A and B are shown apart, each in its own frame.
Chain A
Amino acid sequence: MLLLSCPCCGVTAEETEFANGGEAHLKRFGPGSTDAEYEAYMFARKNPRGVHFERWRHAYGCGKWFLMARDTMTLEVYGTYKAQTTEPPAELQAHIKARRPEWEGF
Protein backbone atom coordinates (compact mmCIF):
# COMPACT_ATOMS: atom_id res chain seq x y z
CA MET A 1 0.00 0.00 0.00
CA LEU A 2 1.50 3.34 -1.08
CA LEU A 3 1.34 6.34 1.24
CA LEU A 4 1.02 9.59 -0.70
CA SER A 5 1.07 13.24 0.36
CA CYS A 6 -1.02 15.59 -1.74
CA PRO A 7 1.00 18.77 -2.43
CA CYS A 8 -2.19 20.71 -3.06
CA CYS A 9 -4.08 20.15 0.23
CA GLY A 10 -1.27 18.66 2.35
CA VAL A 11 -3.17 15.49 3.30
CA THR A 12 -1.17 12.24 3.62
CA ALA A 13 -3.28 9.17 2.90
CA GLU A 14 -3.23 5.64 1.52
CA GLU A 15 -3.27 5.00 -2.23
CA THR A 16 -6.97 4.09 -2.21
CA GLU A 17 -7.74 7.80 -1.78
CA PHE A 18 -5.85 8.61 -5.00
CA ALA A 19 -6.11 7.66 -8.68
CA ASN A 20 -3.12 7.05 -10.95
CA GLY A 21 -3.03 8.96 -14.23
CA GLY A 22 -0.01 7.46 -16.00
CA GLU A 23 3.31 8.94 -17.06
CA ALA A 24 3.96 12.62 -16.28
CA HIS A 25 5.72 15.33 -18.29
CA LEU A 26 4.41 14.07 -21.66
CA LYS A 27 4.79 16.62 -24.41
CA ARG A 28 1.49 17.09 -26.19
CA PHE A 29 1.24 16.62 -29.95
CA GLY A 30 -1.94 17.47 -31.81
CA PRO A 31 -3.02 18.64 -35.27
CA GLY A 32 -0.05 19.38 -37.51
CA SER A 33 2.30 16.89 -35.84
CA THR A 34 3.72 13.86 -37.64
CA ASP A 35 2.22 10.38 -37.25
CA ALA A 36 5.29 9.25 -35.30
CA GLU A 37 5.06 12.17 -32.86
CA TYR A 38 1.35 11.64 -32.32
CA GLU A 39 1.81 7.89 -31.81
CA ALA A 40 4.59 8.50 -29.30
CA TYR A 41 2.45 11.02 -27.40
CA MET A 42 -0.56 8.70 -27.32
CA PHE A 43 1.01 5.29 -26.75
CA ALA A 44 4.81 5.08 -26.35
CA ARG A 45 5.74 5.13 -22.68
CA LYS A 46 9.08 5.00 -20.87
CA ASN A 47 7.81 2.23 -18.57
CA PRO A 48 11.16 2.26 -16.71
CA ARG A 49 12.50 -0.28 -14.25
CA GLY A 50 13.32 2.24 -11.52
CA VAL A 51 12.49 5.94 -11.12
CA HIS A 52 9.13 6.82 -12.67
CA PHE A 53 7.48 10.25 -12.81
CA GLU A 54 3.72 9.97 -12.88
CA ARG A 55 0.45 11.85 -12.54
CA TRP A 56 -1.92 11.23 -9.67
CA ARG A 57 -5.23 12.76 -8.68
CA HIS A 58 -6.43 13.19 -5.12
CA ALA A 59 -9.72 11.64 -6.22
CA TYR A 60 -11.36 11.17 -2.81
CA GLY A 61 -9.87 14.37 -1.33
CA CYS A 62 -9.31 17.79 -2.83
CA GLY A 63 -9.76 16.42 -6.37
CA LYS A 64 -6.59 18.09 -7.72
CA TRP A 65 -3.99 16.60 -10.04
CA PHE A 66 -0.38 16.48 -8.90
CA LEU A 67 2.88 14.76 -9.91
CA MET A 68 4.98 12.19 -8.10
CA ALA A 69 8.30 10.34 -8.33
CA ARG A 70 8.15 6.66 -7.43
CA ASP A 71 10.37 3.63 -7.89
CA THR A 72 8.78 0.80 -9.90
CA MET A 73 11.30 -1.75 -8.57
CA THR A 74 10.83 -1.00 -4.84
CA LEU A 75 7.53 0.98 -4.78
CA GLU A 76 9.35 3.70 -2.76
CA VAL A 77 7.65 7.09 -3.08
CA TYR A 78 10.39 9.71 -3.47
CA GLY A 79 8.09 12.71 -3.27
CA THR A 80 5.18 14.63 -4.74
CA TYR A 81 5.04 18.07 -6.35
CA LYS A 82 2.55 20.37 -8.03
CA ALA A 83 1.54 19.67 -11.62
CA GLN A 84 2.20 23.21 -12.90
CA THR A 85 5.81 22.50 -13.88
CA THR A 86 7.71 20.97 -16.79
CA GLU A 87 10.29 19.13 -14.70
CA PRO A 88 10.65 17.80 -11.14
CA PRO A 89 11.96 20.27 -8.51
CA ALA A 90 15.74 20.28 -8.03
CA GLU A 91 15.55 19.18 -4.38
CA LEU A 92 13.43 16.14 -5.35
CA GLN A 93 15.92 15.21 -8.08
CA ALA A 94 18.74 15.51 -5.54
CA HIS A 95 16.80 13.33 -3.09
CA ILE A 96 16.28 10.63 -5.76
CA LYS A 97 19.96 10.77 -6.74
CA ALA A 98 20.93 10.29 -3.08
CA ARG A 99 18.56 7.33 -2.67
CA ARG A 100 19.48 5.78 -6.02
CA PRO A 101 22.95 6.85 -7.22
CA GLU A 102 22.73 4.82 -10.46
CA TRP A 103 19.71 6.87 -11.64
CA GLU A 104 20.67 8.61 -14.90
CA GLY A 105 18.65 11.74 -14.13
CA PHE A 106 15.47 13.30 -15.45
Chain B
Amino acid sequence: MTRYSAFAIAREALRQHTGWTRAWASPEPAAQYDVVIVGAGGHGLATAYYLGKNFGIKNVAIIEKGWLGGGNTGRNTTIIRSNYLQDPSAAIYEKARSLYEGLSQDLNYNIMFSPRGVMMLAQTEHEVRGYKRTEMANKLQGVDTRFIGPAEVKRLVPIMNIAGPRYPVLGALWQPRGGTARHDAVAWGYARACSEMGMHVIQNCEVTGVESAGGEVTAVNTTRGTIGCKKLGIVVAGHSGHLAAMAGFRLPIESVALQAMVSEPIKPCMDVVVMANTVHGYMSQSDKGEMVIGGGADHFNNYTQRGSWQHIEETVRSLIETFPMLSRLKMLRQWGGIVDMTGDRSPIISKTPLGNIFINCGWGTGGFKAIPGSGWAMAELIAKGEPGPLARDFSMFRFREGRFIDESVAAGVAH
Protein backbone atom coordinates (compact mmCIF):
# COMPACT_ATOMS: atom_id res chain seq x y z
CA MET B 1 0.00 0.00 0.00
CA THR B 2 1.36 3.41 -0.94
CA ARG B 3 2.49 5.54 1.96
CA TYR B 4 1.18 9.08 1.59
CA SER B 5 3.77 11.86 1.85
CA ALA B 6 4.95 15.01 0.08
CA PHE B 7 7.62 12.86 -1.54
CA ALA B 8 4.97 10.42 -2.84
CA ILE B 9 3.00 13.30 -4.41
CA ALA B 10 6.16 14.57 -6.13
CA ARG B 11 7.03 11.06 -7.35
CA GLU B 12 3.54 10.46 -8.72
CA ALA B 13 3.46 13.89 -10.36
CA LEU B 14 6.46 12.82 -12.42
CA ARG B 15 4.72 9.66 -13.68
CA GLN B 16 1.20 10.97 -14.34
CA HIS B 17 -0.20 9.59 -11.06
CA THR B 18 -0.10 5.99 -12.31
CA GLY B 19 1.43 4.58 -9.13
CA TRP B 20 -1.40 5.14 -6.64
CA THR B 21 -2.95 1.92 -5.32
CA ARG B 22 -6.38 1.32 -3.79
CA ALA B 23 -6.62 2.62 -0.23
CA TRP B 24 -8.08 -0.67 1.08
CA ALA B 25 -8.60 -4.19 -0.28
CA SER B 26 -12.05 -5.75 -0.84
CA PRO B 27 -11.49 -9.44 -0.04
CA GLU B 28 -14.03 -12.27 -0.08
CA PRO B 29 -15.07 -13.24 3.47
CA ALA B 30 -13.05 -16.09 5.01
CA ALA B 31 -14.73 -18.98 6.87
CA GLN B 32 -13.44 -18.02 10.32
CA TYR B 33 -11.98 -15.02 12.15
CA ASP B 34 -10.81 -14.39 15.70
CA VAL B 35 -13.00 -11.29 15.91
CA VAL B 36 -15.88 -10.17 13.70
CA ILE B 37 -17.02 -6.55 14.03
CA VAL B 38 -20.49 -5.80 12.64
CA GLY B 39 -20.67 -2.26 11.33
CA ALA B 40 -17.94 -0.47 9.36
CA GLY B 41 -18.70 3.04 10.49
CA GLY B 42 -16.24 5.12 12.44
CA HIS B 43 -16.74 3.28 15.74
CA GLY B 44 -16.48 -0.22 14.21
CA LEU B 45 -13.40 0.59 12.15
CA ALA B 46 -11.72 2.35 15.10
CA THR B 47 -12.43 -0.72 17.26
CA ALA B 48 -10.73 -2.96 14.71
CA TYR B 49 -7.81 -0.56 14.31
CA TYR B 50 -7.03 -0.42 18.04
CA LEU B 51 -7.50 -4.20 18.35
CA GLY B 52 -4.63 -4.52 15.91
CA LYS B 53 -2.53 -1.62 17.11
CA ASN B 54 -2.90 -1.97 20.89
CA PHE B 55 -3.45 -5.72 21.26
CA GLY B 56 -1.94 -7.34 18.15
CA ILE B 57 -5.24 -9.02 17.20
CA LYS B 58 -5.24 -8.86 13.40
CA ASN B 59 -7.35 -11.84 12.26
CA VAL B 60 -10.35 -9.53 12.17
CA ALA B 61 -13.23 -8.90 9.76
CA ILE B 62 -15.31 -5.73 9.75
CA ILE B 63 -18.59 -6.39 7.92
CA GLU B 64 -20.91 -3.66 6.68
CA LYS B 65 -24.35 -3.93 5.09
CA GLY B 66 -23.89 -0.83 2.95
CA TRP B 67 -20.71 1.05 2.20
CA LEU B 68 -17.94 2.36 4.45
CA GLY B 69 -19.10 5.19 6.68
CA GLY B 70 -22.43 5.37 4.86
CA GLY B 71 -24.48 5.51 8.04
CA ASN B 72 -24.17 8.13 10.74
CA THR B 73 -20.41 8.54 10.12
CA GLY B 74 -21.34 10.31 6.89
CA ARG B 75 -24.42 12.07 8.27
CA ASN B 76 -23.22 14.14 11.22
CA THR B 77 -22.02 17.71 11.64
CA THR B 78 -18.43 16.63 12.51
CA ILE B 79 -18.17 18.52 15.78
CA ILE B 80 -15.47 17.35 18.21
CA ARG B 81 -15.59 18.46 21.84
CA SER B 82 -15.25 16.98 25.34
CA ASN B 83 -16.85 19.57 27.65
CA TYR B 84 -19.10 17.09 29.48
CA LEU B 85 -20.26 17.33 33.05
CA GLN B 86 -19.98 13.73 34.32
CA ASP B 87 -16.53 12.19 34.90
CA PRO B 88 -16.97 9.02 32.78
CA SER B 89 -18.20 11.05 29.79
CA ALA B 90 -15.46 13.66 30.07
CA ALA B 91 -12.83 10.89 30.28
CA ILE B 92 -13.86 9.05 27.12
CA TYR B 93 -14.67 12.15 25.03
CA GLU B 94 -11.40 13.82 26.09
CA LYS B 95 -9.50 10.63 25.18
CA ALA B 96 -11.19 10.77 21.77
CA ARG B 97 -10.42 14.46 21.29
CA SER B 98 -6.77 13.98 22.19
CA LEU B 99 -6.49 11.00 19.82
CA TYR B 100 -8.04 13.14 17.04
CA GLU B 101 -5.15 15.61 17.47
CA GLY B 102 -2.61 13.06 16.27
CA LEU B 103 -4.87 10.87 14.12
CA SER B 104 -3.74 12.16 10.72
CA GLN B 105 -0.12 11.26 11.54
CA ASP B 106 -1.12 8.00 13.23
CA LEU B 107 -3.16 6.78 10.25
CA ASN B 108 -0.97 8.45 7.57
CA TYR B 109 -4.27 9.84 6.24
CA ASN B 110 -5.34 13.47 6.39
CA ILE B 111 -8.54 13.58 8.42
CA MET B 112 -8.46 17.41 8.30
CA PHE B 113 -8.80 17.83 12.08
CA SER B 114 -9.34 21.53 12.66
CA PRO B 115 -9.12 22.52 16.35
CA ARG B 116 -10.91 25.79 15.73
CA GLY B 117 -12.65 25.97 19.09
CA VAL B 118 -16.19 25.07 20.18
CA MET B 119 -18.46 27.59 21.82
CA MET B 120 -21.65 26.62 23.66
CA LEU B 121 -23.81 29.72 24.02
CA ALA B 122 -25.50 30.54 27.31
CA GLN B 123 -28.74 32.32 26.42
CA THR B 124 -30.59 32.04 29.74
CA GLU B 125 -29.54 32.54 33.36
CA HIS B 126 -29.93 28.80 33.91
CA GLU B 127 -27.48 28.05 31.15
CA VAL B 128 -24.96 30.54 32.56
CA ARG B 129 -25.06 28.75 35.91
CA GLY B 130 -24.99 25.33 34.25
CA TYR B 131 -21.96 26.10 32.10
CA LYS B 132 -20.04 27.71 34.99
CA ARG B 133 -20.59 24.47 36.86
CA THR B 134 -19.38 22.48 33.83
CA GLU B 135 -16.31 24.72 33.64
CA MET B 136 -15.40 23.80 37.22
CA ALA B 137 -16.09 20.11 36.61
CA ASN B 138 -13.90 20.24 33.49
CA LYS B 139 -11.05 21.83 35.48
CA LEU B 140 -11.12 18.86 37.87
CA GLN B 141 -11.29 16.42 34.94
CA GLY B 142 -8.35 18.03 33.14
CA VAL B 143 -10.47 19.25 30.22
CA ASP B 144 -9.47 22.67 28.95
CA THR B 145 -12.63 24.84 28.94
CA ARG B 146 -13.51 28.26 30.27
CA PHE B 147 -16.58 30.46 30.59
CA ILE B 148 -16.31 33.64 28.52
CA GLY B 149 -18.47 36.77 28.55
CA PRO B 150 -20.58 38.24 25.73
CA ALA B 151 -17.87 40.69 24.61
CA GLU B 152 -15.42 37.81 24.06
CA VAL B 153 -18.14 35.87 22.22
CA LYS B 154 -18.70 38.83 19.90
CA ARG B 155 -14.93 39.18 19.33
CA LEU B 156 -14.66 35.51 18.34
CA VAL B 157 -17.85 35.49 16.22
CA PRO B 158 -18.48 38.98 14.78
CA ILE B 159 -21.52 37.82 12.76
CA MET B 160 -23.43 36.99 15.95
CA ASN B 161 -26.19 39.23 17.29
CA ILE B 162 -25.59 39.06 21.04
CA ALA B 163 -28.29 41.58 22.01
CA GLY B 164 -31.31 39.32 21.78
CA PRO B 165 -34.14 40.37 22.05
CA ARG B 166 -35.63 37.00 22.91
CA TYR B 167 -32.45 35.03 23.59
CA PRO B 168 -29.59 37.43 24.38
CA VAL B 169 -26.10 35.91 24.51
CA LEU B 170 -25.03 36.05 28.17
CA GLY B 171 -21.74 34.22 27.69
CA ALA B 172 -20.45 30.89 26.47
CA LEU B 173 -18.57 27.78 27.53
CA TRP B 174 -15.48 27.90 25.32
CA GLN B 175 -13.34 24.87 24.50
CA PRO B 176 -10.48 26.18 22.36
CA ARG B 177 -9.17 22.68 21.57
CA GLY B 178 -12.47 21.42 20.19
CA GLY B 179 -13.24 21.66 16.51
CA THR B 180 -14.20 19.66 13.44
CA ALA B 181 -12.73 16.95 11.20
CA ARG B 182 -13.57 15.48 7.79
CA HIS B 183 -16.00 12.70 8.69
CA ASP B 184 -15.56 10.48 5.60
CA ALA B 185 -11.79 10.70 5.94
CA VAL B 186 -11.99 9.32 9.49
CA ALA B 187 -13.75 6.18 8.20
CA TRP B 188 -11.50 5.91 5.15
CA GLY B 189 -8.30 6.45 7.16
CA TYR B 190 -9.20 3.77 9.69
CA ALA B 191 -10.30 1.37 6.91
CA ARG B 192 -7.00 1.87 5.08
CA ALA B 193 -4.99 1.28 8.25
CA CYS B 194 -7.04 -1.85 9.10
CA SER B 195 -6.61 -3.22 5.59
CA GLU B 196 -2.85 -2.58 5.82
CA MET B 197 -2.72 -4.70 9.00
CA GLY B 198 -4.32 -7.58 7.05
CA MET B 199 -7.84 -7.19 8.38
CA HIS B 200 -10.79 -7.79 6.04
CA VAL B 201 -13.13 -4.86 5.41
CA ILE B 202 -16.19 -6.48 3.79
CA GLN B 203 -18.84 -4.15 2.36
CA ASN B 204 -22.35 -4.96 1.05
CA CYS B 205 -22.62 -7.80 3.53
CA GLU B 206 -25.70 -7.65 5.77
CA VAL B 207 -25.97 -9.78 8.90
CA THR B 208 -29.16 -11.86 8.79
CA GLY B 209 -28.71 -14.01 11.89
CA VAL B 210 -26.48 -14.91 14.81
CA GLU B 211 -25.62 -18.57 15.55
CA SER B 212 -24.87 -19.49 19.13
CA ALA B 213 -24.19 -22.61 21.15
CA GLY B 214 -23.92 -22.94 24.94
CA GLY B 215 -24.43 -19.22 25.57
CA GLU B 216 -21.63 -18.23 23.20
CA VAL B 217 -21.80 -16.96 19.63
CA THR B 218 -20.17 -19.24 17.04
CA ALA B 219 -20.93 -17.54 13.73
CA VAL B 220 -22.92 -14.83 11.98
CA ASN B 221 -25.12 -15.54 8.96
CA THR B 222 -24.75 -12.89 6.31
CA THR B 223 -25.92 -12.20 2.77
CA ARG B 224 -22.44 -13.38 1.70
CA GLY B 225 -22.42 -16.64 3.62
CA THR B 226 -21.80 -17.82 7.17
CA ILE B 227 -18.76 -16.33 8.90
CA GLY B 228 -17.39 -18.04 12.00
CA CYS B 229 -15.98 -16.00 14.87
CA LYS B 230 -14.51 -16.47 18.33
CA LYS B 231 -15.68 -13.03 19.46
CA LEU B 232 -18.33 -10.72 18.03
CA GLY B 233 -18.47 -6.94 18.35
CA ILE B 234 -21.76 -5.23 17.48
CA VAL B 235 -21.19 -1.59 16.54
CA VAL B 236 -24.23 -0.65 14.47
CA ALA B 237 -25.68 2.51 16.09
CA GLY B 238 -29.34 2.93 15.17
CA HIS B 239 -29.81 -0.72 14.25
CA SER B 240 -28.36 -2.10 17.51
CA GLY B 241 -31.75 -3.22 18.80
CA HIS B 242 -32.34 -5.19 15.62
CA LEU B 243 -29.01 -7.06 15.97
CA ALA B 244 -29.46 -7.58 19.69
CA ALA B 245 -32.82 -9.20 18.93
CA MET B 246 -31.06 -11.62 16.54
CA ALA B 247 -28.65 -12.54 19.33
CA GLY B 248 -31.55 -12.90 21.76
CA PHE B 249 -31.30 -9.96 24.15
CA ARG B 250 -32.90 -6.53 24.47
CA LEU B 251 -31.34 -3.11 24.78
CA PRO B 252 -32.50 0.05 26.57
CA ILE B 253 -32.47 1.87 23.23
CA GLU B 254 -34.90 3.77 21.03
CA SER B 255 -34.03 4.92 17.52
CA VAL B 256 -35.04 8.38 16.34
CA ALA B 257 -34.17 10.62 13.39
CA LEU B 258 -31.78 13.56 13.77
CA GLN B 259 -31.40 16.08 10.95
CA ALA B 260 -28.73 18.38 9.62
CA MET B 261 -28.36 20.63 6.59
CA VAL B 262 -25.84 22.77 4.72
CA SER B 263 -26.24 26.13 3.05
CA GLU B 264 -24.79 27.29 -0.24
CA PRO B 265 -21.04 28.01 0.09
CA ILE B 266 -20.11 31.55 1.09
CA LYS B 267 -16.88 33.38 1.92
CA PRO B 268 -15.29 32.63 5.32
CA CYS B 269 -17.37 34.33 8.00
CA MET B 270 -17.14 32.15 11.13
CA ASP B 271 -14.01 30.24 12.19
CA VAL B 272 -15.34 28.54 15.33
CA VAL B 273 -18.12 26.03 16.05
CA VAL B 274 -21.15 27.58 17.74
CA MET B 275 -23.76 25.57 19.61
CA ALA B 276 -26.95 27.14 20.96
CA ASN B 277 -28.73 24.59 23.12
CA THR B 278 -31.61 26.80 24.24
CA VAL B 279 -32.80 27.23 20.68
CA HIS B 280 -31.68 23.75 19.49
CA GLY B 281 -29.24 24.83 16.81
CA TYR B 282 -25.55 24.46 16.12
CA MET B 283 -23.42 25.65 13.27
CA SER B 284 -19.94 25.70 11.78
CA GLN B 285 -18.52 26.67 8.41
CA SER B 286 -16.97 23.90 6.34
CA ASP B 287 -13.74 24.30 4.41
CA LYS B 288 -15.86 24.57 1.24
CA GLY B 289 -17.67 27.56 2.76
CA GLU B 290 -21.01 25.90 3.46
CA MET B 291 -22.69 26.70 6.77
CA VAL B 292 -23.21 23.26 8.37
CA ILE B 293 -26.31 23.40 10.57
CA GLY B 294 -27.73 20.79 12.92
CA GLY B 295 -30.88 20.86 14.96
CA GLY B 296 -33.10 18.91 17.31
CA ALA B 297 -34.08 15.26 17.01
CA ASP B 298 -37.58 14.02 16.28
CA HIS B 299 -39.40 12.61 19.27
CA PHE B 300 -40.80 9.41 17.81
CA ASN B 301 -39.24 6.08 16.79
CA ASN B 302 -38.08 6.21 13.22
CA TYR B 303 -35.82 4.19 10.91
CA THR B 304 -36.40 6.14 7.68
CA GLN B 305 -33.30 8.42 7.74
CA ARG B 306 -35.57 11.40 7.16
CA GLY B 307 -36.91 13.78 9.74
CA SER B 308 -39.89 16.03 10.24
CA TRP B 309 -40.17 19.26 8.27
CA GLN B 310 -40.98 21.44 11.25
CA HIS B 311 -37.60 20.71 12.86
CA ILE B 312 -35.77 22.23 9.90
CA GLU B 313 -37.92 25.31 10.19
CA GLU B 314 -37.51 25.54 13.97
CA THR B 315 -33.73 25.20 13.74
CA VAL B 316 -33.30 27.79 11.02
CA ARG B 317 -35.81 30.19 12.55
CA SER B 318 -34.03 30.21 15.89
CA LEU B 319 -30.53 30.49 14.41
CA ILE B 320 -31.58 33.46 12.25
CA GLU B 321 -32.28 35.47 15.39
CA THR B 322 -28.73 34.90 16.63
CA PHE B 323 -27.14 35.05 13.13
CA PRO B 324 -29.24 37.57 11.11
CA MET B 325 -27.00 37.23 8.03
CA LEU B 326 -28.22 33.62 7.58
CA SER B 327 -31.65 34.86 6.50
CA ARG B 328 -30.36 35.56 2.96
CA LEU B 329 -28.77 32.11 2.49
CA LYS B 330 -30.22 29.27 0.43
CA MET B 331 -30.05 25.76 1.89
CA LEU B 332 -28.38 23.24 -0.41
CA ARG B 333 -29.00 19.88 1.20
CA GLN B 334 -30.81 18.39 4.17
CA TRP B 335 -30.50 14.85 5.50
CA GLY B 336 -31.37 12.67 8.47
CA GLY B 337 -29.62 9.90 10.36
CA ILE B 338 -30.96 7.30 12.78
CA VAL B 339 -29.54 7.83 16.26
CA ASP B 340 -29.77 5.29 19.09
CA MET B 341 -30.86 6.96 22.31
CA THR B 342 -30.44 5.31 25.72
CA GLY B 343 -32.44 6.12 28.83
CA ASP B 344 -29.73 8.36 30.31
CA ARG B 345 -28.44 9.66 26.92
CA SER B 346 -25.01 8.11 27.55
CA PRO B 347 -23.47 5.35 25.42
CA ILE B 348 -23.13 1.63 26.04
CA ILE B 349 -19.76 -0.13 25.73
CA SER B 350 -20.49 -3.41 27.37
CA LYS B 351 -20.45 -7.14 27.79
CA THR B 352 -23.78 -8.76 26.95
CA PRO B 353 -25.80 -11.71 28.24
CA LEU B 354 -23.89 -13.81 25.67
CA GLY B 355 -20.33 -14.32 26.87
CA ASN B 356 -18.38 -13.53 23.72
CA ILE B 357 -20.60 -10.83 22.21
CA PHE B 358 -19.69 -7.23 23.01
CA ILE B 359 -21.76 -4.21 22.15
CA ASN B 360 -20.95 -0.57 21.48
CA CYS B 361 -24.00 1.61 20.87
CA GLY B 362 -26.23 4.31 22.29
CA TRP B 363 -24.04 7.24 21.21
CA GLY B 364 -27.23 9.05 20.34
CA THR B 365 -26.72 12.44 18.83
CA GLY B 366 -23.01 12.68 19.65
CA GLY B 367 -21.11 9.72 18.24
CA PHE B 368 -18.71 11.29 15.76
CA LYS B 369 -16.65 13.16 18.34
CA ALA B 370 -16.13 9.93 20.29
CA ILE B 371 -14.92 7.65 17.49
CA PRO B 372 -11.23 7.20 18.48
CA GLY B 373 -11.96 6.97 22.22
CA SER B 374 -14.88 4.61 21.68
CA GLY B 375 -12.77 2.35 19.45
CA TRP B 376 -9.92 2.44 22.00
CA ALA B 377 -12.22 1.39 24.87
CA MET B 378 -14.14 -1.19 22.80
CA ALA B 379 -10.90 -2.81 21.57
CA GLU B 380 -9.74 -3.22 25.17
CA LEU B 381 -13.10 -4.75 26.12
CA ILE B 382 -13.02 -7.26 23.24
CA ALA B 383 -9.34 -8.15 23.67
CA LYS B 384 -9.43 -8.66 27.44
CA GLY B 385 -13.08 -9.67 27.84
CA GLU B 386 -13.38 -7.11 30.63
CA PRO B 387 -13.89 -3.34 30.35
CA GLY B 388 -10.93 -1.04 30.94
CA PRO B 389 -11.07 2.29 32.82
CA LEU B 390 -12.73 4.17 29.94
CA ALA B 391 -15.55 1.66 29.38
CA ARG B 392 -16.16 0.51 32.95
CA ASP B 393 -19.03 2.90 33.70
CA PHE B 394 -20.80 2.40 30.36
CA SER B 395 -22.12 -1.12 30.99
CA MET B 396 -25.58 -1.93 29.63
CA PHE B 397 -26.41 -3.34 33.07
CA ARG B 398 -26.21 0.12 34.67
CA PHE B 399 -29.91 0.60 33.98
CA ARG B 400 -30.76 -2.33 36.24
CA GLU B 401 -28.30 -1.18 38.88
CA GLY B 402 -29.40 2.47 38.79
CA ARG B 403 -25.89 3.81 38.03
CA PHE B 404 -26.88 6.30 35.34
CA ILE B 405 -24.47 8.66 33.65
CA ASP B 406 -26.95 11.45 33.27
CA GLU B 407 -25.92 13.63 30.36
CA SER B 408 -29.44 14.20 29.09
CA VAL B 409 -28.99 17.94 28.93
CA ALA B 410 -25.68 17.72 27.12
CA ALA B 411 -26.50 14.81 24.84
CA GLY B 412 -30.26 14.96 24.43
CA VAL B 413 -30.42 18.40 22.93
CA ALA B 414 -27.57 19.33 20.69
CA HIS B 415 -24.15 18.13 19.60
Contact = CB atoms under 8 A, between A and B. Distances in A.
A84 interface: no
Interface string A34-74: 01101110111111110010100000000000000010111
Contacts of A35: 400
A1 B310 contact: yes
A48 to B, nearest CB: 8
Nearest to B404: A43
Contact of B309 (A1, A42, A46): A1
Contacts of B310: 1, 15-16
Contacts of A36: 400
B254 interface: yes
Interface string B331-343: 0000000000011
A23 B399 CA distance: 18
Contacts of B304: 72-75
A46 B303 CA distance: 13
Contacts of A44: 250-252
B300 interface: yes
Most buried by B among A16, A19, A35, A72: A72
Given A15-B308, A36-B400, A43 B252 contact: yes
Q: Is the interface of B mostly helix, strand, loop or mixed?
A: mixed
Interface in B251-272: 251-255
B242 interface: yes
B301 interface: yes
Contacts of A54: 300-301
Interface in B236-284: 239, 241-242, 250-255
B254 A22 contact: yes
Contacts of A15: 308, 310
A20 B298 CA distance: 10
Q: How large is the interface on A (under 10, 10 to 19, 20 to 34, 35 or more residues)?
A: 20 to 34
A48 B242 CA distance: 7
Interface string B292-332: 00000001111110001110000000000000000000000
B253 A47 contact: yes
A87 to B, nearest CB: 19
Nearest to B300: A20
A75 B304 CA distance: 8
Given A20-B300, A72-B302, A45 B308 contact: no
B308 A72 contact: no
Contact of B303 (A2, A16, A38, A72): A72
A35 B401 CA distance: 8
Contacts of A40: 250
A52 B301 CA distance: 8
B299 A39 contact: no
A65 to B, nearest CB: 15
A73 B343 CA distance: 22
Nearest to A68: B300
Contact of B301 (A1, A39, A72, A74): A72
B206 to A, nearest CB: 13
Interface in A1-35: 1-2, 15-16, 19-20, 22-23, 35
A45 B252 contact: yes
A55 B102 CA distance: 47
Nearest to B343: A43
Given A1-B309, A15-B308, A42-B343, A47 B254 contact: yes
Given A2-B308, A22-B254, 16 more contacts: A1-B310, A15-B310, A19-B299, A36-B400, A39-B400, A44-B250, A45-B254, A46-B241, A47-B251, A47-B254, A47-B301, A49-B239, A49-B303, A72-B303, A74-B304, A75-B304
14 contacts: A1-B308, A1-B310, A22-B254, A39-B400, A40-B250, A42-B343, A44-B250, A44-B252, A45-B241, A47-B254, A54-B301, A72-B301, A72-B302, A72-B304
Interface of B: 239, 241-242, 250-255, 299-304, 308-310, 342-343, 399-400
Q: Which 5 A-B pairs rank lowest in CB-CB distance, beginning with the nearest?
A: A43-B252, A39-B400, A47-B241, A20-B300, A43-B343
